[in-house]
Chain A
Amino acid sequence: MALKYVEEYRDGTLARDLVKKIHSVSKKKLRLMEVCGTHTTSIFRHGIRSVLPKGITLLSGPGCPVCVTAQKDIDAFVAFARVKNVIVTTFGDLMKVPGSSSSLTKEKACGADVRIVYSVFDAVNIARENKDKEVVFCGVGFETTIPTIAAGILMGIEGKLDNFSIYSANKLTPPALAALMETDGVQIDGFILPGHVSVITGTDAYRGTFEKYDIPSVIAGFEPIDILQAILLLIQQNEAGKPALENAYPRAVSHAGNVKAKQIMNQVFEVCNASWRGIGQIPSSGMELKKEYQRFDAAIKFAMDMPDVPEPKGCACGQILMGLKTPEECVLYKKKCTPMNPVGPCMVSSEGSCAAFYRYS
C-alpha cells in the first residue's frame, strides 16, 4: 500500500521554504486559532510552533470532540455501562475521560462490557451478534462523524436491530466559531479551519460566520506543509488588512462538501442546542435524532437524564478551548492534572491541547 499525499506534504525542503516566507511576511503580532484537535496534534508532532516567528501565537480551539463533551454526557455513558445486559461501544479516546465519579475505563475494570470500536458500523455488528443484549453507541463527534452515525442508524433499521441505540452528544462546528467570536475577551486574528469537517460541510458552511465577523479564515489539511501554507495565508491576509475565506485544502474540500453525507445526516438528525464542556450551552450547535428515529435514542430508551454538574474546581479547560488561557496558565496543569490522572478533558484525548502540550513541549 503506497501512501500517497503524506510524504509529499512532509517534504523538509518545501517546509523550510514556507517557513522562510512566513518569517519574511510576518510583521504584526497575531493570535491564530487552529479549531481542530487533529491540527493541534499535528502542529505539536511536527514541531511547527518552534519554527514560527515569535509574534505568531497558535491557540488550540474547541475542535477536539472528546474535550467538548459535557460532563453530564460522560456521566450518562458511565451510567449505561452500569446497566445490566448493556454493551457500551465507544471510540477509544472517550475511555479515560473522567465523569463526576468514574470513567468507562474504570467501569470496564469493574466488569462492565465496554468495547472500543473504530466506527459506528462495528457497534451495529456487535448488536447483530448479541441480540440478547442492548448495544449503546456513544455518539461523540463533529460533522465528520455524524453522517456515519446516521448511516449506522439506517443500517440498524435495515437489519431490524431493536437492541441498538445511540446517545447523541454530536456537535456542529460553525455555531461554535460564532459563539467564540461573541465571547468577551476572546481575541483571535484568524482561524485555521478543520480539514476533515470541511470535507463534509464544504467551504460554504463558513461563509455566514466569515461575513458576519470579517475574520481571516483558511481551511487546512493536516500535514505540515498544509498547516504552514494556511498560516502563511492567514498572516498575508492580516498584513494586507484583507480578510478572506480561503481553501488551502482543495485536494479534499469543495465548496458544497459531501452532499450525500449531509443528506443522510439531515435525514436522521436535526439541529438542537448543545452543552459544550467548559463553554456551556451554544444555540443550534448540536444534533439530535429526528422524531421518527427516536426509538434509537439511548437517552429515551433507558430514560437516562443526567443532571448538569459543575466543572472540576480549578479546571481551565473551558478557557483553554476558547483561547483565553494556555494550558500552562491552568493551576492544575502538570500538578493535579496529567495524562495518567486527567482532571479535565483537554488532558485526556490525544487531541486535547493540554495533553499535546504535556507530551510535546
Chain B
Amino acid sequence: MTEEKILLDHGSGGKVSHSMFSDIILPLFENPELSKQDDGAVLDVKGTKLAFSTDSYVVDPIFFPGGNIGDLAVNGTINDISMCGANPEFISVGLILEEGLPIKDFKLILETMAAAAKKAGVKIVTGDTKVVPKGKADKIFINTSGIGVIPPNVNVSGSNAKPGDKIIISGTLADHGITVLSTREGLKFDSDIKTDSAPLNKMVQSIIQSNCDVHVLRDPTRGGLGTTLNEIASQSKVSIKIDEQSLPIRGPVQGVCELLGFDPLYIANEGKLIAFVPQKDAQKILEIIQQDEFGKDAVIIGEVIDKDPGKVFLQTNIGGLRIIDMLSGEQLPRIC
C-alpha cells in the first residue's frame, strides 16, 4: 500500500476537497464558527456581528483577459465577506513571491489590487511579503483576509434555504474558469471571453438594505454553480430544482465548453452570486440585482423544493430530469 498523498483533486473545491475538510481539517480545529462551513466565519465580538474570511490565490497564468491574480484576490475576499451579509471594510494581503518575478509584473499586480480595493471601497490595512527561491513557488501566490460588520437583523447562511425559495443568479456562468483555461492552454478563439471577476459588496448592500428577506447568498466560485448548489442543499437539508433553459451562458463560453467537454455548471465564476429568497420578495430582489453594475443579466433559475433533501435536480431543455452532483475531483487546475 503506497502512502496517501495530497493530489490536485484535493484543491478542486469538489467532493475530494470537502472530504479533506471534514475528515482532516474540521476534527482538529472544530468550533461552532468553523462548523457552519459558510464562505466566512460569523463572529460575535461584544455584541457586534463580524464576518471574517480568508482565501489564497494561486491562479496560473497570473495575467488573463479582464484581470489578473491581484484584483481576483481582492474581489474574492470582498465577495466572501459580502456573502455573509456583511459590508467588507478591511483587508490584509500576504504575498509569496518567487525569485525572478519581474518587478514590472509585481507592480502591475499591486496597482490592480489598489484599484480593486478603491473601487469596492475597502482598505488594505496590513500585509506581509516573503520571497522563495526559484521553483519553490510559481511567480506569485496571494493570500487575502478580510473583515466586515454584519447589520443586526441580517441572518444569511448556506443553512437557511427553505422550500419555496426562489433562486436568483446575478449573471452569466463559467466566464472566469473558461477564460483562465483558454489563456493557459493558448487556445485562440475569435471572440471576447474574459473573466467576470468583480466586487459584489454594493450589490449585496442594496439587497440587504431593501428590507426584503434573504436566506442564502453565495458566490459560486471553485466547483461552479453545481457544486455550490449541492453545498447549500446539504447544509440546509433541502432539495433544489433548476431549469436548464433559464441558465445564462454566453455563446462563446458555451462553445469552448462544448469543444473541450466541460460542463459550465462546474466551472468557476468570480463575480457572480446566487441568492435564495422567499417567493414574495423574489421579483423585487431580482430587479435590485439587475440594477447593479454587475447584475444586468440576473435571472431566476430555480427553486427550493420539498423532497429528497440534499439533492439538486436539473429540468433539461427537452423536458427530462437529471441530478446535478457535486464535482468529484479536479476539472480545471488552479483557476483561482
Contacts and interface: CB of A to CB of B under 8 A. Distances in A.
A22 to B, nearest CB: 12
Interface stretch (A45-53, A164-172, A241-249): A45-53
B254 A3 contact: yes
A15 B319 contact: yes
Most buried by B among A1, A109, A339, A358: A1
A11 B319 CA distance: 11
Interface in A80-102: 96, 101-102
B321 A2 contact: no
Contact of B321 (A3, A47, A102, A224): A47
Contact of A101 (B2, B263, B323): B2
B127 interface: no
Contacts of A67: none
Interface in B1-58: 2, 5-9, 15-16, 19
A16 B317 CA distance: 9
Contacts of B319: 12, 15-16, 19, 47, 51
Interface stretch (B142-150, B183-191, B210-218, B277-285): B183-191
A340 B15 contact: yes
Interface string B306-336: 0000000011111111110100110000000
Contacts of A3: 251-252, 254-255, 258
A228 interface: yes
Contacts of A46: 316-318, 320, 322
Given A47-B314, A360-B325, A340 B263 contact: no
A46 B8 CA distance: 29
A360 B254 CA distance: 20
Interface string A92-135: 00001000011001100110000000100000000000000000
Contact of B255 (A1, A47, A96, A339): A1
A340 B325 contact: no
B317 A15 contact: yes
Contacts of A16: 318-319
Contact of B318 (A1, A19, A102, A118): A19
B190 A47 contact: no
A16 B322 CA distance: 16
Contact of B261 (A1, A2, A50, A350): A350
A48 B320 contact: yes
Given A96-B329, A360-B323, A12 B318 contact: yes
Given A106-B5, A339-B329, A360-B325, A49 B258 contact: no
Nearest to A12: B317
Interface in B269-300: none
A45 B317 contact: no
Nearest to A52: B320
B126 interface: no
B245 interface: yes
A1 B251 contact: yes
Given A12-B245, A360-B322, A224 B251 contact: no
B190 A45 contact: no
Given A6-B258, A12-B245, A96-B329, A50 B321 contact: yes
A51 B322 contact: no
A19 B320 CA distance: 10
A207 interface: no
A24 interface: no
A6 B328 CA distance: 27
Nearest to A224: B318
A50 B325 contact: no
B4 to A, nearest CB: 9
B322 A50 contact: yes
Contacts of A359: 323, 325, 328
Nearest to B259: A3
A47 B2 contact: no
A301 to B, nearest CB: 27
A51 B319 CA distance: 7
Given A3-B255, A6-B254, A358 B318 contact: no
Contacts of B6: 109
B173 to A, nearest CB: 15
Contacts of B260: 118
B265 to A, nearest CB: 10
A250 to B, nearest CB: 20
B319 to A, nearest CB: 6
A51 B320 contact: yes
A10 interface: yes
A158 B6 CA distance: 41
A77 B247 CA distance: 40
Interface string A174-187: 00000000000000
A49 B323 CA distance: 12
A293 interface: no
B252 A224 contact: no
A49 B329 contact: no
Given A47-B314, A47-B319, 18 more contacts: A1-B251, A3-B255, A6-B254, A12-B319, A19-B319, A45-B322, A46-B316, A48-B320, A51-B318, A102-B2, A105-B7, A106-B5, A109-B6, A109-B7, A224-B317, A339-B15, A340-B329, A360-B322
Interface of A: 1-3, 6, 10-12, 15-16, 19, 44-51, 96, 101-102, 105-106, 109-110, 118, 224, 228, 338-340, 350, 358-361
27 contacts: A1-B189, A3-B255, A11-B317, A12-B245, A12-B318, A15-B317, A15-B318, A44-B322, A46-B320, A46-B322, A47-B316, A47-B318, A47-B321, A50-B320, A50-B321, A51-B319, A109-B7, A109-B8, A118-B260, A224-B318, A228-B318, A339-B15, A339-B328, A339-B329, A340-B329, A360-B325, A361-B322
Question: 4 closest A-B pairs (Cβ-Cβ)?
Answer: A47-B320, A15-B318, A339-B328, A3-B255
